[in-house]
Structure 1
Amino acid sequence: MKEYEVYSDLRVPVNSKIIIRLDGRSFHSFAKKMELEKPYDENFYNVMVEACKDLFEEFSPIFIYAFSDEINMLLDKIPFKGRFEKINSVIASFTSSSFTLHYNAEFPKPVAFDSRIIPINDSDIYDYFKWRQDEAWRNCVNGYGIHFLKSKYSSSRANEIINGLTLSDIHELLFENGINLNDVDIWKKRGIGVYRKNKKVIGFNKKESKEQVSYRSFIHVDYNLPIFSEGFFNELF
C-alpha cells in the first residue's frame, strides 16, 4: 500500500534554504469570537511571540518574522530529511499546539495553522521579507483605519469607505483625526523578529587569575525591527 503515498518522497533540494510560512486558519472569525482588542490585541501578540520562541527552540531557524497571524521561518538546517509532507504537517501542528498552550483560554473551536514551504535562494531572501514587511505596514494602516471608521459609522459603511481609499488616504484621514501612525509601536508597523544574538559574559579564570570574556548566544525577540535592508540579512548569516 506504500505506493498510495504519492507525495511521500517529495523532498526539499539538498543544501538549500527554505522559508516556512504559517498562517492562522480563520483567525478573523477567531478574533471576533474571542473579542480581541482592536486594532491590536497585545495578549494575542504575546502568545504569537511565545509560539515563535518554541519554533526557534525546536527547529533552530536562522530567522523568524511574524505579524498579524502569520509566521515566516527561514531555515538552513532542514528537518525530517527534507520531506515536504513531514515538514508541513509537523510544523503546522506544532505551532497550533504551542499557540493553544500559551493562550491558556477556552476556544470556541480548535485552533489551526496551515503551513507552506518556499524554497529560496540567498539573493531572494531580502526581497521576500521586504514583501512581507510591506504587508505588515499595509495591515497596520488598514487596521487603524477601519477601527477609526467603525467608531464613526456602521461596519458596512466603514468597509465601503475604506475600500475606496489608498494607504496614503487612510494615513491622512487618521492624521486629520489626531491619530499619528508615527507614534504607533514599531512592532505594529514592521512586525516582530526572532533571531539569535550574542551577549558578552565576563567571568574569572582561576587558573590564570584574571578576568575572561566569552560570548553566549541567546534567542532575541526584536520589537524594534528596522525597515529591512540587504545588510540586515547579511548580518544574520
Structure 2
Amino acid sequence: MQFNELDKTMRVYETAADLSVLPDLFMVARLDGRSFTRLTKGLCSFEAPFDVRFRDLMVETARSLMTCGFRVQYAATASDEISLLLDPAEQQFGRKLRKYTSTLAGEASAQFSVKLGRAASFDCRISQLPTPGRVVDYFRWRSEDAARNALSAWCYWTLRKEGVEAREADRCLLGLSVGQKNELLFRRGINFNDLPSWQKRGVGLFWEEYDKPSTNPKTGQPVTTRRKRIRTEFELPMRDGYNDYVRAFVSSTQSVPGAL
C-alpha cells in the first residue's frame, strides 16, 4: 500500500470522534484540576481552606488560557476550576470538540505545573449553549456553586483546626442548611459575609482597552494608542448583579449568524 493511500486509510480512525460545535452555539470550556485536594493540602501544604498563593496560580493559568490562541471573551476561576467563554465567531480547528478539550487541558496543565514547580493536570469539557441567556445561567451556576463550596470548606476546616477528625467533621456538616452552616461559623467568630469576595465568588478576567502613551518614530511627537490588556476582577457582584455583569461580555462578543 502506497503512503498516500495508507495515510488516508489510517486517518479515518483518528477522526471517528470528530464532533464539531455548530456555528450558532456558544462554547464555554470548563477546566478542573485533577486530584488537586491531594496536591494542594498534601504535597504543597497550601493554607486551608483558601490560600492567596493558590488563587494567584489559578488566575495566572486563566490568563495564559486567554492568550494561547483562542478568542476568549471572559474567564472565571474559583477554587480549582476555570471557565472560559469563547467568542461565538471562534473557528479554530473547525470547532472540533476534541481539539478544544485536549489543547486547553494541555495548556492549563503545562502552565500551572511550570508556575507551581510540580506536575499537575487539568481535564476539560465544553458546554454548547444555545442562547446568551444560557451563557449567563452557566456563569451564575458556577458562581453560586463556588459560594456553596466556600461555605462548606470554611465549616469543614474550622472544625478540623479545632481538632475534629476528618470523618467526624464530614458527619457534623451532613444535612446542614446554608443558614446552619453560617451559624456554625458565626458561633466561632467568623462572619461568612465578611470573608474576601474572591473566596466566595471567585475571580473574573476580561479584556479591556486602555490608552498607552507612545512616541511617533518618524516625528518624535508624543501620541496615544489604544491597546488591549487583561483586567482581573477580585470583587465580583452577586446574583442579579452578576447576571448583568456576564451579559455585558456576551453582548460584546462578535456575533455569527443566529448567535445573538
What TM-score, normalized to structure 2? 0.81
Q: Do structure 1's residue 55 and structure 2's residue 65 form an aligned pair?
A: yes
Give the secondary-structure state (helix, strand or coil) at the position aligned to 1:221.
strand
Q: Do structure 1's residue 33 and structure 2's residue 46 form an aligned pair?
A: no
Which position in structure 2 is the counterpart of 1:66? 77
1:114 to 123, 134, 149: 123
Moved more, 43-52 or 147-156: 147-156
Which position in structure 1 is the counterpart of 2:106? 93
Q: Which structure 2 segments of 5+ residues have no match?
A: 1-9, 253-260
Q: CA RMSD in A?
A: 2.4
CA displacement at 1:68 relative to structure 2: 0.8
CA displacement at 1:33 relative to structure 2: 2.0
Q: Do structure 1's residue 139 and structure 2's residue 152 form an aligned pair?
A: no
Give the secondary-structure state (helix, strand or coil) at the position aligned to 1:57.
coil
| Counterpart residue identity of residue 185, structure 1 | P
Q: Do structure 1's residue 3 and structure 2's residue 16 form an aligned pair?
A: no
Aligned residues: 233
Q: Do structure 1's residue 160 and structure 2's residue 171 form an aligned pair?
A: yes
| Counterpart residue identity of residue 93, structure 2 | F
CA distance in 1, matches of 2:85, 2:61: 15
| Counterpart residue identity of residue 116, structure 2 | Y
Q: Do structure 1's residue 44 and structure 2's residue 54 form an aligned pair?
A: yes
Which position in structure 2 is the counterpart of 1:18? 27
CA displacement at 1:160 relative to structure 2: 0.6
Residues 176-200 of structure 1: CA distance to partner in whole angstroms, max 9, x if unpaired?
2100122211111111111012224
CA distance in 1, matches of 2:31, 2:16: 20
Q: Which structure 1 segments of 5+ residues have no match?
A: none
**Structure 1 186/2 Cα, relative in aligned 2: closer, same or farther at 3 Å?**
same
CA distance in 2, matches of 1:61, 1:95: 14
CA displacement at 1:175 relative to structure 2: 1.0
Give the secondary-structure state (helix, strand or coil) at the position aligned to 1:216.
strand
| Counterpart residue identity of residue 66, structure 1 | T
CA distance in 1, matches of 2:16, 2:139: 29
1:149 to 133, 148, 159: 159
What TM-score, normalized to structure 1? 0.89
